[in-house]
């Protein structure tokens, strides 16, 4: 499968190039950037055959199969639509867009064109998250009463750009991290929230966008969900707690790009450390994506999953901005 990188991003350089190249038969043949010079420098540094600032040049390559879009968020819509129109498969970064209607349009267009469209919600591919989901589904901790998600970290210095000062590019901790928490909650519980209350604040880094948020969601089964995201917490550590009528699952350090962290089950007064697969999350994202292209199956994080995580994050934002509980409107998303 021949891939093009759309965007000379940090995540492409740090993770996705290696993940794509680790698959037999996969190659990266193009990199496109809004800057021709940046595309050239990136292709030279990463050993990619062709570079350009012209997306059409990439998409008219008949040997190209798929694009990985990791530009800033406001560019995802136009780039995805162009790729879909050209018949290319799309792996798009979260959040899928800066506008929910645009995200829905992207996903519907991919369905109509018959191309695979996936959202890079990589945490679904983590061994730790899969182990937690299996424990919940096995009934071992009983009926789930509450889920607490902590994704409060310190934004690394090299990422302190558009995330902190550019709402049009999708900046702010809600667009950046709440979408991940939303997808993790949906993945673990197999349910969608109905109403949300929230608060957000600028607590040190944000310039015109929020850098911390807390929200509480109600879901149909009665489980309560608490979600905390921040760019300003150097020592909080990330984690997930799932509390059931018969036991709890406590996971630490599992909101990560690498296969890190611990998962512990406490049930019937005994504590057990759970072992889980330590495979690369992003290699697994690409493996899943390639399988879906070959088989026509739905990716582990589909386009609709990306739409729903955006809708939940948007509802958190509205709840925080208004101080009023908000109903989550999934706009018919399946």
Binding stretches for ligand NDP (CB under 6 A):
7-11, 33-35, 38, 70-73, 93-94, 120, 122, 159, 161, 176, 257
For residue 26, the minimal CB distance to ligand NDP (Å) is: 18
Tell me the torsion sign for CA atoms 222, 318, 163, 16: positive
- CB-based contacts of 190: which residues, under 8 Å, 6+ apart? none
**Residue 58 region by backbone torsions, left for phi larger than 0, else alpha for psi between -120 and 50, else beta:** alpha
Least distance to ligand NDP, CB of residue 5, Å: 8
Give the up-direction half-sphere exposure of residue 167: CA atoms within 13 A in the CB hemisphere.
8
Q: Which is nearer to ligand NDP, 65 or 93 (CB)?
A: 93
- 217 cis-preceded (ω within 30 degrees of 0): no
Smaller CB separation from ligand NDP, 172 or 247: 172
Surface-to-core class of residue 291, CB atoms within 10 Å of its CB (0-12 exposed, 13-18 middle, 19+ buried): middle
> Which residue number, 72 or 300, has a Cβ lying nearer to ligand NDP?
72
- 112 Cβ partners below 8 Å, 6+ apart? none
Q: Which is nearer to ligand NDP, 79 or 200 (CB)?
A: 79
Cα–Cα distance between 13 and 10 in angstroms, integer? 5
CB 70 → ligand NDP: shortest distance, Å? 4
Given a contact cutoff of 8 angstroms between Cβ atoms, the answer to whether 243 and 224 are in contact is no
Q: How far is the CB of 95 from ligand NDP (least distance, A)?
A: 7
Which residue's CB is nearer to ligand NDP, number 40 or number 243? 40
Token reading at 296: 């026509």
Q: Taking CB positions, which residue lies at the least distance from ligand NDP? A: 7
Shortest Cβ 34–ligand NDP spacing (Å): 4
From the CB of 216, what's the least distance to ligand NDP, in Å? 24
Closest to 246 (Cα-Cα) out of 268, 229, 230, 261: 268
Residue 9 or 326 having the CB closest to ligand NDP: 9
Strand partners, 243: 146, 248
């Amino acid at each position: 499968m021949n891939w093009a990188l759309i965007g000379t991003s940090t995540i492409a350089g740090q993770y996705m190039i290696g993940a794509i190249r680790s698959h037999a038969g996969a190659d990266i043949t193009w990199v496109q950037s809004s800057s021709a010079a940046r595309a050239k420098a990136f292709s030279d540094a990463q050993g990619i055959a062709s570079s350009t600032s012209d997306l059409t040049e990439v998409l008219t390559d008949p040997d190209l199969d798929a694009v990985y879009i990791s530009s800033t968020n406001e560019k995802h819509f136009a780039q995805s639509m162009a790729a879909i129109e050209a018949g290319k498969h799309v792996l798009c970064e979260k959040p899928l867009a800066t506008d929910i209607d645009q995200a829905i349009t992207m996903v519907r267009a991919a369905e109509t064109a018959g191309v695979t469209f996936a959202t890079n919600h990589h945490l679904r591919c983590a061994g730790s998250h899969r182990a937690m989901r299996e424990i919940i589904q096995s009934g071992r901790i009983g009926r789930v009463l509450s889920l607490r998600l902590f994704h409060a970290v310190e934004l690394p210095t090299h990422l302190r750009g558009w995330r902190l000062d550019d709402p049009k590019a999708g900046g702010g901790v809600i667009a950046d991290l709440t979408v991940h928490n939303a997808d993790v909650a949906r993945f673990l519980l197999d349910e969608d929230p109905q109403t949300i209350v929230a608060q957000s604040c600028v607590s040190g880094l944000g310039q015109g966008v929020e850098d911390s948020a807390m929200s509480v969601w109600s879901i149909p089964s009665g489980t309560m969900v608490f979600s905390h995201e921040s760019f300003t917490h150097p020592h909080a550590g990330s984690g997930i707690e799932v509390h059931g009528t018969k036991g709890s699952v406590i996971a630490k350090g599992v909101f990560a790009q690498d296969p890190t962290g611990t998962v512990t089950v406490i049930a019937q007064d005994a504590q057990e450390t759970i072992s889980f697969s330590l495979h690369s999350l992003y290699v697994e994202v690409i493996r899943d994506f390639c399988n879906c292209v070959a088989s026509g199956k739905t990716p582990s994080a589909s386009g609709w999953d990306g739409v729903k995580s955006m809708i939940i994050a948007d509802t958190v934002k509205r709840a925080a901005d208004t101080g009023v509980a908000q109903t989550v409107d999934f706009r018919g998303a399946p």
